[in-house]
Amino acid sequence: MNPILIVDDNRQIVDILVQYVKNEGWPYLTAASGEEALRLFDAAAPSVILLDVMLPGIDGLEVCRRIRRVSTVPILMITARDEDADRILGLDIGADDYIVKPFSPGEVMARVRAALRRLSEHVPGDTLVSGSLTIHLPSLSVTVSGHKLNLTRKEVELLYTLAASPGRVFTRDNLLTIVWGYEHAGSYRAVDSHIKRLRQKLDTCPHDDFLIATVWGTGYKLERKQP
């Protein structure tokens, strides 16, 4: 397995996370600045990135933006600010998860395990075709009416989950458990933000045969439209 990249300028937090990562038997690298994080990302192709928001020099949000231009590696943002606007911004720029300090290292490791488990579950040939929509999970490739979409890993997994069971209503809890892979209570905004962004990207291509419908008070479903 490629290393887990831990990015934080707080040495105490890094040491705690490193100890937990070592206890799991995983390789790791550490960085204390945004510049160093980008250099190690290029050199080591990490499996998962634990990324602090407040970093000297290039901050964590900009690091996330730059990595998302070239990679779908799972990124778990870590911040001391517990505000919806900050969470939504992090998710909108491509973060897979958002962890607020102070945090439980055990919970962080559970989220890392979930991210790694989802990566290992995507086997070659895992392709879904539904009308104008084609999703190839191993490569995170999505095409609509022949047009390739630039989606994040979470957006692909959300779309795949909905498209694999057209007409089924998924609650936000369902989607958090299936796509994020663990109990993520209270983070319904993560689902709503990803769905909003996914709809915007789908709207750049013609897709008259399906839509992502909101079931008010419940959740979402992929609805096939009759020609």
Domain ranges of the chain: 4-121, 127-224
The answer to whether residue 123 scores a pLDDT higher than 50 is no
Among the listed residues 36, 227, 67, the one whose alpha carbon sits nearest the alpha carbon of residue 152: 67
The pLDDT tens digits of the residues spanning 173-199 come to 888 877 876 555 457 788 888 999 999
AA letter at 47: S
Say if 4-121 and 127-224 have the same CATH topology.
Answer: no
Which CATH number, 3.40.50.2300, 3.20.20.70, 3.40.630.30, 2.30.30.30, labels domain 4-121?
Answer: 3.40.50.2300
- In the prediction, which pLDDT does 99 show? 85
Q: Give the pLDDT mean for 17-44.
A: 93
Could you tell me the pLDDT band of residue 8, with boundaries at 50, 70 and 90? very high
- The pair of three-digit structure tokens given for residue 58, joined into one six-digit string: 């290039």
Q: What's the topology of domain 127-224?
A: Arc Repressor Mutant, subunit A (1.10.10)
In angstroms, the CA 93 to CA 101 distance is 20
Tracing tokens 């086997």 back to the chain, one arrives at 123
pLDDT above 70 coverage of the chain, percent: 89
* DSSP letter assigned to residue 102: S
pLDDT of residue 201 exceeding 70: yes
Q: 168-180: per-residue pLDDT in tens?
A: 888 888 888 778 7
